[in-house]
Amino acid sequence: MRKCRNTVITFIDFKKAYDSVDRETLFEIMKEFGIDRKTRTIIEQTLTGTTSNVKFMGEISDPFEIKTGVRQGDGLSPILFNIVLEKIIREWELHVKGIQVGIKKENRLNVKCLAFADDIAIITDNRTEAIRAVEKLHQIAQKTGLQISYDKTKYMERKPKNKSSLMTKHGEILQVGHFKYLWEVIQSSDSNRIANEQRITKLQRAYKLTWAHYNKKCISRGAKLRHYNTTILPEAIYAAETKVIGGHSRIGEIEKQERKILRKIYGPINRNGIWMKIPQNELYQKTNTITEEIRKRRAKFYAHVYRMKLSIIPKKLLNMIMNSKCGTEWLKEVQKDLQQINTKNLEDRTECRYKIAHVKFEQKLNRQPGVKWTDERKKEHSERMERFWEAKKMKQNS
């Protein structure tokens, strides 16, 4: 929907966010948001007169009072911080344009930022608007005690004309080609290459930490598989609901690493007195591939968004993608998967999830098998290769 338009995403990072919140401002915001007096009083008492000590070289310092920030490790702290951030974003949104998503004017959706806790991504049409939005956020956030860390704040442009930094009044923001947002790598080129490379690295790291346990015969194969599914596999399929499998996605490299781990769990098999690795087709008769797991997760995510109310933003975005002429590669792949699942009633959550859980997707062959070679053809090929290498050797010696 924005393939022909530029998009600038600025990833904001706050300096010591939880420790910088001004407590008096927090109390005023809670009152403004309509929180009852009793709850406000209890929260104020937990944040008043707090002290701390520092332990260094075995000695504990005298207690000192802490006057800013929310308590570290407290279950209430994330909620209090979100209240402050909600106030900041509400005031900030009144002064920025954002981007228009959609084709028809009457159905366009205005998106200004993505925010989860203190991970904020500002979305604008160009660099000038990005600078203006960051400066306005800096000004509003400063009222609550929060400060933007310009060393860690980065920006990414979908169609950059040149590589240059954003020069704001308060600091310089560097341009990057990819950025890890909410533990998932986003690339300006819409590719999954770096994200998949990191998935492979995570699988390898997790396997190295646990391979010794898979050698133990006292642990059953079922226990090893449960451990793999709950500890190692999530490293590879985290945030895979929006992943594109086709193209140059390196999904085959991820499956290769997966087979290495599964063969370690299942062990070798004995065929005619010869111990050998379990073949790939037999290995996947007992378990699903990572590709199948990703396809099932995508289908569940699509059905989940499909069942949402029309007023919710993810539902609006999905409708825009479905009604656009070209769509996206992700949508095309998911729709093909839904045809194989053969579920027509996505509104029925129970039936839909049951069919997705029990579907067996058709596997694409990595190599199309040809005609089996005869002994005569093998002999001719061997003689031809011998003549080729002899000629090459003579050419090198001459």
Residues 175 and 164 sit within 8 Å (Cβ to Cβ): yes
d(CA 53, CA 135): 36
Q: Would residue 364 count as lying in a domain?
A: no
Domain co-membership, 277 together with 349:
no
Domain boundary among 240, 268, 287: 287
Q: Would residue 391 count as lying in a domain?
A: no
Domain co-membership, 162 together with 13:
yes
Q: Would residue 392 count as lying in a domain?
A: no
Domain boundary among 267, 287, 307: 287
pTM: 0.78
Strand runs (DSSP E) across 59-209, as ranges?
59-60, 64-65, 99-101, 109-111, 113-116, 119-124, 154-157, 166-167, 172-175, 178-181, 184-187
How many other β-carbons are positioned within 10 Å of the β-carbon of residue 233? 20
Domain co-membership, 124 together with 264:
no
d(CA 247, CA 106): 35
Mean pLDDT by runs of 10 across the 398 residues of the chain is 73 90 92 92 89 87 87 88 92 88 73 86 91 93 92 87 86 89 82 83 86 87 89 87 76 85 88 86 83 91 91 86 78 88 86 88 58 83 89 83
How many other β-carbons are positioned within 10 Å of the β-carbon of residue 341? 19
pLDDT digit string (tens) for 62-102?
A: 888 888 888 888 888 999 999 999 999 999 999 988 888 77
Domain co-membership, 70 together with 136:
yes
- Structural domain that includes position 306: 293-358
Domain co-membership, 72 together with 29:
yes
Domain co-membership, 219 together with 165:
no
Domain co-membership, 20 together with 162:
yes
Token representation of residue 305: 């968004």
Q: How many structural domains compose the chain? A: 3
> How confident is the model at residue 139, as a pLDDT?
93
Q: Would residue 20 count as lying in a domain?
A: yes
d(CA 86, CA 81): 9
CATH code of residue 154: 3.30.70
> How confident is the model at residue 1, as a pLDDT?
43
Domain co-membership, 201 together with 245:
yes
Domain co-membership, 143 together with 277:
no
Q: Would residue 378 count as lying in a domain?
A: no
> How confident is the model at residue 365, as a pLDDT?
44
> How confident is the model at residue 75, as a pLDDT?
87
Domain co-membership, 268 together with 174:
no
